[in-house]
Amino acid sequence: MDKSDLLMILLPVVLIQLILMVTALTFLFRMDSVRGKKWVWVPVIVLVNIVGPILFFAFGRKES
């Protein structure tokens, strides 16, 4: 298997990871108040793979 095939195979994975990350970040920036400091969530979402965005969506929201 050459490089371009591999790239085509990995593309959807990267794409979905980006979608997950971008959705979490847009929600983070739009929210008026989140649990904890806002900037703390940025590395959690960007650096912790898969689980980071899950944690943000589950616990980041402050119930009004």
Partner 1 sequence: MSGFGILLHKEWREALRTAKLIWLPAVFLLLGFLQPLTAKFMPDILASAGNLPEGTLIQIPVPTPGEVLGQTISQFGTVGLLAVCLAFMGTIAGEKRNGTADWILVKPVSPLAYVASKWVMLCLIVSIAFGLGFGGSWYYTNLLIGVPNSGDVLISALLYYIWLVFIGTVTIMTSALLRSPAAAAFITFGGAIVLQLVHGLFDNKLSWLPSGLDAAAISKLTTGSSPSWAGSAIVTVISIATLLTVAAKGAVLRKKG
- Closest approach, Cβ 39 to partner 1, in A, equals 20
Between 13 and 37, CB nearer to partner 1: 13
Q: Rounded distance, CA 11 to CA 33, Å?
A: 34
Does residue 28 contact residue 45 with C-beta atoms inside 8 Å?
yes
| Identity of the amino acid at 29 | F
Q: Give the residue with the Cβ less far from partner 1, 10 or 40.
A: 10
The span from the CA of 54 to the CA of 5, in Å, is 31
Footprint on this chain of partner 1 (rule: CB under 8 A) = 9-10, 12-13, 16-17, 19-20, 23-24, 27, 50-51, 53-54, 57-59, 61, 63-64
